[in-house]
Chains A and B, each alone.
Chain A
């Protein structure tokens, strides 16, 4: 069997998927990045290797995406390294060809992608404001003492509406405490929080965009039934949650790798599963050669520098040969 591997390294989660030549997903793994992108990629690859022992296979291509895409790309020997917007859109269109709007909410960031005839025509990203992301919910679940897994289900049982000011996490928090004191139930507060997050998301990312059904909602937060319901109330129609909602970026990377290999006819640059054992050493240092004080990231393999980035002037990046 020919397989394609997709890896999505984000600040919160690292996802690895394997796909066969017919775009069927044969493996998926969602792990926490915990600030160690390389370790989590290695772990994901190990699990994949174990899993693949049950079949005969050849790895034909590998793609990486997410904020750690460059680093992961070097580690595994990726054929393509793509930004998150392109990767997510590619995966969604593959499963839901008629999609017009992709709503994506992850742990630390969120995006909206507008699609027409399977093509990205507009997008917006938010990485600054936590009030439109999963970390907002994580935070409030801790405060309320309700595990995040139960959050969505509980929201659906609310009997009354309560409006919580959700412009920013700080306001939301104080408003939430106030509303609790007024005697609203936990379920109602949670529903209010879901509505606040969705309002925020639509105001920040959807502003000035033509939002049209069909909507596909993906990213880690798509598991939350309360948020899904809040979106449906806000947008006035049904929202689709794809089967692999939390690994769509990785699937997109795999599809893009496959496309690339098919078009170019090249052999994959995949280093093999042994790569997980290779002693990659990433380190960062502050360059002091000029007033920019760049945070330069340098990756070494067996004492040899294989990649450098982060320098504004390019003098470090250019020093790496082949």
Chain B
């Protein structure tokens, strides 16, 4: 059996988990192509115009998978992974959204409701519908989930050592131990790059911002590299709690990084049409004034030009580097 995974939305966060789970259950997984201009256009064509860009891109990936002869396309419904917080409504209605938007997908949708208290999503009841679809016993499913959870934890541990998601994924699949490598090369400055995984790690949306920054000798910290427990502590002290799981994580990371003197500035990457970001973006902007941290928002839509983006990133990095140099000079004087 072949199951398609759209390379979009929370794929970037849960891929190691799903890969391990499905492979143990004897399924061949097929991943959609890396986001390209054409793929985005396919998605934009079929999706209602008002919705946010990541959902349009998600639909593009579904269309891409339909051409790959898969038996099912895995579209989980993310409702909650911790108490008191939920996912953005678009995640909660995702299977229906795909069904009503894309012709011919209905019979292929394989969905589960993710609603529990574990960030790993590995409560077995979440994945119970797989038993019937994949003809496996609950026992087999439970066993596979246990292993998958371990794999995913290992991946998360790699992230927390300061590796990017791409690096961490590679480390997991090559079964390298994190301690064998170090995450950081030399750097002039350190920037926090805040945004949902499907924005920061999608090469189309972020135009590979992390690689660009690395090329400018900048160390990059993202929210998934931070220690959740410490962020949780921060949550208690934050001026406001947000109801959306990942939005809340990002805001927690923002507060954490704003207070950290090793962080020279913050960049918020947001996609056009995002509701939660319009709130959290403003909150970060206000906080950045309070903490006197350089802050820049990059809002991407399907027409954003790469050279404009590069100019802004370059200018931001230059500004911080030059400030640092002059501070050092002043200290010496």
Chain A contacts to B: CB under 8 angstroms: 67, 82-86, 118-123, 125, 127, 208, 290-293, 310, 312
Given A120-B322, A293-B37, the answer on whether A84 and B315 have CB atoms closer than 8 Å is yes
Chain B neighbourhood of A119, CB < 8 A? 319, 322-323, 326
* B294 CB–A CB distance under 8 Å: yes
> Can you give 15 contacting A-B residue pairs, CB < 8 Å?
A67-B307, A82-B314, A85-B311, A85-B315, A85-B319, A86-B322, A119-B323, A120-B315, A120-B318, A120-B319, A125-B308, A125-B311, A127-B305, A292-B38, A312-B207
Tell me if B285 is interfacial: C-beta within 8 Å of chain A: yes
- Mask: chain B, 254-298; 1 = CB below 8 Å from A; 0 = not: 000000000000000000000000000000010000000010000
Q: Nearest chain A CB to B299's CB is how many angstroms away? A: 11
Q: Which of B39, B305, B307, B308 contacts A291 (CB 8 A)?
A: B39
Which residues from chain B contact A67 at a C-beta distance below 8 Å?
307, 311
Interchain CB contact under 8 A, B36 and A291: yes
- Minimal Cβ-Cβ distance residue in B for A294: B37
Partner of A86, one of B38, B208, B319: B319
Known: A119-B326, A291-B37, A293-B38. A85 touches B308 (CB 8 A): no
Nearest B residue to A123 via CB reads: B315
Contact of A82 with B318 in the complex, beta carbons under 8 Å? yes
Residue of B nearest to A210 (CB): B289
Given A67-B307, A125-B311, answer yes or no on A86-B36 (Cβ-Cβ < 8 Å): no
Residues in B neighbouring A84, C-beta threshold 8 A: 311, 315
Neighbouring A residues of B322 by C-beta, 8 Å: 86, 119-120
Select which of A121, A127, A291 is within 8 A of B38 by beta carbon.
Answer: A291
CB distance from A194 to the nearest CB of B (A): 27
- Is the CB–CB distance between B311 and A292 below 8 Å? no
In the docked arrangement, what's the CA distance between A199 and B179, Å? 56
State whether B318 touches A85 (Cβ < 8 A): yes
New A-B contacts (16) at CB < 8 Å, excluding given A67-B307, A208-B285, A290-B36: A83-B315, A83-B318, A84-B315, A85-B319, A118-B326, A119-B326, A120-B323, A123-B315, A125-B308, A127-B305, A127-B308, A291-B39, A293-B37, A293-B38, A310-B306, A312-B207
CA A155 – CA B311 in complex, angstroms?
A: 35
Report the nearest A residue to B303, measured CB to CB: A128
> In the complex, which residues 175-208 of chain B have their Cβ closer than 8 Å to any Cβ of chain A?
203, 207-208
Tell me whether B312 and A125 are in contact (CB under 8 A). yes
B interface residues, Cβ below 8 angstroms from A: 33, 36-39, 203, 207-208, 285, 294, 305-308, 311-312, 314-316, 318-319, 322-323, 326
Could you say which residues of chain A place their CB within 8 Å of the CB of B208? 312
Across the interface, which residues of A come within 8 angstroms of B311, CB to CB? Answer: 67, 83-85, 125
Q: Do A121 and B319 touch (CB < 8 A)?
A: yes
Of A118, A121, A293, which one neighbours B294 at CB under 8 angstroms? A121
Whether B36 contacts A292 by the Cβ 8 Å rule is yes
CA distance A291 to B63 in the complex (A): 14
Q: Is the beta-carbon distance between B38 and A123 smaller than 8 angstroms?
A: no
Set of chain A residues within 8 Å of B314, measured between Cβ atoms: 82-83, 86
Smallest CB–CB gap between A65 and chain B, Å?
A: 10
Nearest A-chain residue to B33, judged by Cβ: A291
Q: Which residues of the other chain, B, contact A86 by a CB distance below 8 angstroms?
A: 314-315, 318-319, 322
- Chain B contacts for A310, CB-based, 8 A: 306
With A and B bound together, what is the CA distance between A14 and B33 in angstroms? 41
CA distance A153 to B318 in the complex (A): 39
Residues of A within 8 A of B307 (CB): 67
Residues from chain A with a CB closer than 8 A to the CB of B285 are: 208
- Which chain B positions have C-beta within 8 A of A127? 305, 308
CA distance A291 to B208 in the complex (A): 17
B200 to chain A, nearest CB (A): 16
Chain A residues, Cβ within 8 Å of B316 = 123
Q: Give the distance to chain B from A231, nearest Cβ to Cβ, in Å.
A: 23
Measured CB to CB, the closest approach of chain B to A293, in angstroms, equals 6
For B308, the closest partner residue in chain A by CB is A127
Bound-state Cα–Cα, A122 to B297, Å: 12
Choice from B36, B207, B319, B326 contacting A123 with Cβ under 8 Å:
B319
Interfacial chain B residues near A82, Cβ < 8 Å: 314, 318
| Residues on B with beta carbons closer than 8 Å to the beta carbon of A291 | 33, 36-39
Distance to closest chain B CB from A84 (angstroms): 7
State in angstroms the CA–CA spacing of A85 and B312 once bound together. Answer: 8
Chain A residues near B207 (CB-CB < 8 A): 312
Tell me the nearest residue of chain B to A125, going by C-beta: B312
Inter-chain CA distance A122–B208, complex, in Å, is: 23
A122 near B315: Cβ-Cβ < 8 Å: no
CB distance from B40 to the nearest CB of A (A): 9
Given A208-B285, A312-B203, also A292-B308 (CB < 8 A):
no
CB distance from B189 to the nearest CB of A (A): 14
